[in-house]
């Protein structure tokens, strides 16, 4: 007990701490069971080529649909999955499911789509990611060059040397690599030059006020110019209206995704979107 603290205050603090601990313990158990019960789903958000308007890819986004209750968004369970290490088996499921989906869309005769999968830092450091991806590509029959892995700038910077080595091997297999949430971390484009990456995804927070905030506009403008000078494609996240799209088009941004085109949808939603375009 801290000096001078009243007994009641300590009591209150201790109780709220153990409640938090109990909550995460319960949640951890629920997450574990979710895998066994097959309660995870992948939703897909279309990615559009700004110049042509064609849907050229989709980003796989994880959802948790418990047997009872509403669907749970990744921000509400991925942090705990990362802390507990459960993100590794969950991430394996995500990769396998996304690869199988890509193959099945290809078999169904849909136009070729690059399927992007988010990786957490933990998956990246944890085990033989390269071997896992190679196995999955072989087992599902998906096309490695239509598979993209997204890793945040922050996760890359946790261990840049390891990241370079892993990126090189993945890139050799033909897998595309994207830096996610670019602009929210501390890397510089000059530094990223040593990574064999294909694209940068500009974080949604910069796109939001692009048409009103001159700082954000300047940042996005210069990120696009610098990325292009390094032969990287630029993808804008979180495009919600025509004016944002207009700005991005005028500044030569390559691709975009956002509610303006579509929210993330189940696989059937992607199929009907492609048929209706």
> Which residues would be at the binding site for Mg ion (CB under 5 A)?
118, 150, 180-181, 237
Distance of CA 191 to the CA centre of its chain: 21
**CB count, 10 Å around CB of 26?**
10
The Cα 161–Cα 198 span in angstroms is 18
Q: How far is the CB of 59 from Mg ion (least distance, A)?
A: 6
* SS3 state at 215: helix
Residue 242: CB partners within 8 Å, gap ≥ 6?
260
Contact region with ligand C2E (CB under 6 A), list: 22-30, 162-170, 214-222, 254-262: 254-262
Q: How far is the CB of 240 from ligand C2E (least distance, A)?
A: 4
Pick what 208 binds: Mg ion, ligand C2E, none; C-beta below 5 to 8 Å, kind-dependent: none
Nearer to ligand C2E, 5 or 213 (CB): 213
Residues 6+ apart with CB under 8 A from 251: 220, 221, 224
Which residues on neighbouring strands pair with residue 234, listed in sequence order?
Answer: 200
Identify whether the C-beta of residue 148 lies closer than 8 Å to the C-beta of residue 115.
Answer: yes
Which lies closer to Mg ion via its Cβ, residue 141 or residue 185?
Answer: 185
Q: What, of Mg ion, ligand C2E, none, does residue 183 touch, CB below 5 to 8 Å by kind?
A: none
* Interactions with ligand C2E, residue window 103-162 (CB under 6 A): 118-120, 150
Which of 198, 177, 164 is CA-nearest to residue 133?
177
Query: In terms of CB distance, is 105 or 150 closer to ligand C2E?
Result: 150
Task: Kindly state the smallest distance separating residue 244's Cβ from ligand C2E, in Å.
Answer: 9
- Nearer to ligand C2E by Cβ, of 15 and 204: the residue is 204
Residue 221 engages ligand C2E in binding (rule: CB under 6 A): no
Radius of gyration of the chain (CA): 21
Cα(70)–Cα(83) distance, integer angstroms: 23
Residue 81: partners with Cβ closer than 8 Å, 6 or more residues away: 31, 87, 90, 120
**Residue (146 or 258) nearer to ligand C2E, CB:** 258
**92 or 143: CB nearest ligand C2E:** 92
| H-helix or E-strand spanning residue 219 | helix 214-229
Contact between 180 and ligand C2E by CB under 6 A: the answer reads yes
Site for ligand C2E in 63-102 (CB under 6 A): 73-75, 78, 87, 91, 94
Residues 6+ apart with CB under 8 A from 138: none
Write out the two tokens for 51.
């110049």
Q: Residue for token digits 């050799």?
A: 172
CB of 75 to Mg ion, least distance (A): 8
- List the single partner that 244 binds among Mg ion, ligand C2E, none, CB under 5 to 8 Å by kind: none
In the bound state with ligand C2E, the residue whose beta carbon lies nearer, of 60 and 137, is 60
State the residues that interact with ligand C2E by CB under 6 A.
45, 61-62, 73-75, 78, 87, 91, 94, 118-120, 150, 180-181, 204, 237-240, 257-259, 264
């Amino acid at each position: 007990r801290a000096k001078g603290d009243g007994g009641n205050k300590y009591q209150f603090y201790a109780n709220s701490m153990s409640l938090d601990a109990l909550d995460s313990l319960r949640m951890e158990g629920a997450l574990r069971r979710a895998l066994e019960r097959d309660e995870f789903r992948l939703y897909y958000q279309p990615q559009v080529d700004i110049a042509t308007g064609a849907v050229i890819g989709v980003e796989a986004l994880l959802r948790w649909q418990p047997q009872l209750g509403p669907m749970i968004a990744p921000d509400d369970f991925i942090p705990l999955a990362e802390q507990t290490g459960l993100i590794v088996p969950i991430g394996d499921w995500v990769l396998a499911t996304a690869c199988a989906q890509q193959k099945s869309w290809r078999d169904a005769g849909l136009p070729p789509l690059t399927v992007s999968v988010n990786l957490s830092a933990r998956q990246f450091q944890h085990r033989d990611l390269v071997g896992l991806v190679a196995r999955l590509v072989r087992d599902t029959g998906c096309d490695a060059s239509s598979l993209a892995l997204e890793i945040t700038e922050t996760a890359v910077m946790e261990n840049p040397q390891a990241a370079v080595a892993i990126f090189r091997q993945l890139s050799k297999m033909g897998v595309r690599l994207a830096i996610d949430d670019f602009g929210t971390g501390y890397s510089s484009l000059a530094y990223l030059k040593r990574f064999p990456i294909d694209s940068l995804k500009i974080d949604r927070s910069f796109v939001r006020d692009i048409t009103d905030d001159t700082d954000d506009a300047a940042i996005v403008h210069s990120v696009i110019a610098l990325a292009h000078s390094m032969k990287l494609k630029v993808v804008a996240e979180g495009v919600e209206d025509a004016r944002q799209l207009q700005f991005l088009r005028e500044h030569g941004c390559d691709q975009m995704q956002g509610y303006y085109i579509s929210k993330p949808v189940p696989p059937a939603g992607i199929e009907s979107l492609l048929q209706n375009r």
